[in-house]
Amino acid sequence: MLGLKLFKLRGGVHPEGRKQLAAEHGIRSLPLPAELFIPLQQHIGAPATPVVKVGERVLKGQLLAAAQGAVSAPVHAPTSGTITALGDHVAPHPSGLPVPTITLTSDGAEQWLEAAGCATPLELAAEEIAAQVAAAGIVGLGGATFPAALKLNLSRNSGVQTLILNGGECEPYLTCDDRIMRERAPQIVEGIQLIARAVAADEVLVGIEDNKPQAIAAMQAAAQGSSVQVVVMPSMYPMGSEKQIIQVLTGKEIPAGGRPADIGVLVHNVATAYAVQQAIRYGRPLISRIVTVSGGAIKTACNVEALVGTPVQALIDFADGYAQPTARLVLGGPMMGQQFTHTGVPVVKGTSGVLALTASEIGQAEPSPCIRCTTCVRACPVGLLPLEMAAHIRASDLTGAVALGLKDCIACGSCSYVCPAHIPLVHYFNYAKGDLAAQERAKLKLEATKKLAEDRTARIARIERERAEAAARRKAAREAKERAAKAAAESEGAA
């Protein structure tokens, strides 16, 4: 549907899209890697706990590690083979530090674990849909990696008026969502209907930027006759971020520190809807995802379906390697993605892109002093004052930066992108948020330690009190006994 009223996005920028590098390359499957490195933590929340041992043979789709606690997600075997290690491996994180990882050596057979699936998924109860989504290890594939089932349950409990499917894909270079919508629209629409059923949504909107005409046409055709409405949005960065897509499609704003559920909205990515459909109709857990391999340094940009755990180097090789010297490697998009250096890092559930960018693409100009032009203020989609927040952070005044809304910053990088002085504003904000998180962790640790010490003191006092009370009781009993004996002796003497 094209007629829905759109609301204006505050701020935003128009970076060069560079999507043409990969957009016309259909999704291709990567050759099966010899070894897969599957991190236990691929989602927001607690890492999964391994349920397999080294030397064990596993089938494709078999559970490798179970969710641990309320906010967590399980991980499954992306292929059949043998578990050859349970240990640390480099992670898709800027630090490149190793994280607990399961190594699976493929047997080349791609032998699936027998799965039940469901021929009539749209008849399932809401709770059953959420339970199957949880068991399949589905997380937000737009990059947030929040466990999808938890979002479904929280939203069902708080009530959802509007379900939004995010097909914005506003980050330059990335075309994985564009391609999945073009090529797998009927499955996505069924996944959307399952999510809508799981949360009893009144209204279902799919927001797609106007630079994806084929995806729009495919989704409109697939949604025909259903209650799913495809809405065309103007191309602007960061249209695809959660707060902004809600604002544009509904006119509602998430209150500071709040969640979409607070205003009756649930947002999922279109690729997440596809994963939901695959899990429920075919019983297939989330073991692969579509990844865009692009950037000026890549020889043949492409979109690939990669198994979770595939080393990024295999994707670069599949794209025929490098055509030019690489100045920066990025996982995700160039605006919000993570830089990395080690191409042995594995594809994880949240990996939307692998970019190799040239020096001219990243344009690393030296920063100069702020000229107080306020361009960054106009670009900020959240309505913050980036120049003032950065000044407070530079002066080590985190409290002042928080008072100016640091916690509401979505780290979109729009301010840095437009700054004529090339000040890396978003780096300040990410650094400060890291500092804040560390301070909060330290505070929690201190509180926990204090509580432990208080509990210990109280326990010792209780034990001493109980000992003293027992001794007093024993003494009283002894004295009573002595008194009774004395009284008996006296009465015997008197007799």
Min dist. Cβ of residue 246 to ligand SF4 (A): 15
Q: In whole angstroms, give the CA distance from residue 426 to residue 432.
A: 10
Q: In whole angstroms, give the CA distance from residue 326 to residue 299.
A: 11
Tokens of 219: 């989704």
Q: In whole angstroms, give the CA distance from residue 204 to residue 227.
A: 7
Any idea what DSSP says for residue 224?
T
Min dist. Cβ of residue 377 to ligand SF4 (A): 7
With CB under 6 A as the rule, give the number of residues binding ligand SF4. 27
Min dist. Cβ of residue 414 to ligand SF4 (A): 4
Task: Output 302 or 412, the one with its CB closest to ligand SF4.
Answer: 412
DSSP per position, 292-334: EEESTTBSS-EEEEEETT-BHHHHHHHTTSBSS--SEEEES-T
Min dist. Cβ of residue 412 to ligand SF4 (A): 4
Over the window 374 to 413, marking each residue x when it contacts ligand SF4 by CB under 6 A and - when it does not, the resulting string is xxx--xx-x-x-xx---------------------xxxxx
Min dist. Cβ of residue 169 to ligand SF4 (A): 18
User: Which of 34, 70, 109, 373 lies at the binding interface for ligand SF4 (CB under 6 A)?
Assistant: 373
Task: Output 80 or 414, the one with its CB closest to ligand SF4.
Answer: 414
Min dist. Cβ of residue 402 to ligand SF4 (A): 13
Tokens of 202: 């009144």
User: Which of 365, 372, 492, 493 lies at the binding interface for ligand SF4 (CB under 6 A)?
Assistant: 372
Contact in structure between 292 and 306 (CB atoms under 8 Å): no
Task: Output 11 or 78, the one with its CB closest to ligand SF4.
Answer: 11
Any idea what DSSP says for residue 7?
P
Q: In whole angstroms, give the CA distance from residue 491 to residue 178.
A: 105
371 is an interface residue for ligand SF4 by CB under 6 A: yes
**Residue 472: strand, helix, or coil:** helix
Over the window 331 to 370, marking each residue x when it contacts ligand SF4 by CB under 6 A and - when it does not, the resulting string is ---------------------------------------x
Contact in structure between 315 and 306 (CB atoms under 8 Å): yes
β-pair type (203-209, 228-233): parallel
Min dist. Cβ of residue 21 to ligand SF4 (A): 25
Over the window 410 to 449, marking each residue x when it contacts ligand SF4 by CB under 6 A and - when it does not, the resulting string is xxxxxx---xxx-x-xx--x--------------------
Identify how many contiguous H helices and E strands the chain contains and give both numbers: 14, 17
Q: Which residues contact 118 (CB under 8 A, 6 or more apart)?
A: 124, 280, 281, 283
Sheet of 162-167, strands arranged across: 228-233, 203-209, 162-167, 265-269
Task: Output 340 or 429, the one with its CB closest to ligand SF4.
Answer: 429
**Residue 425: strand, helix, or coil:** helix
Subset of residues 7 to 66 that bind ligand SF4, contact rule: CB under 6 A? none
73 is an interface residue for ligand SF4 by CB under 6 A: no
Min dist. Cβ of residue 90 to ligand SF4 (A): 28
Min dist. Cβ of residue 15 to ligand SF4 (A): 12
Nearest CA-CA partner of 242 in 145, 162, 166, 160: 166
Task: Output 227 or 399, the one with its CB closest to ligand SF4.
Answer: 399
Residues that bind ligand SF4 (CB under 6 A): 370-376, 379-380, 382, 384, 386-387, 409-415, 419-421, 423, 425-426, 429
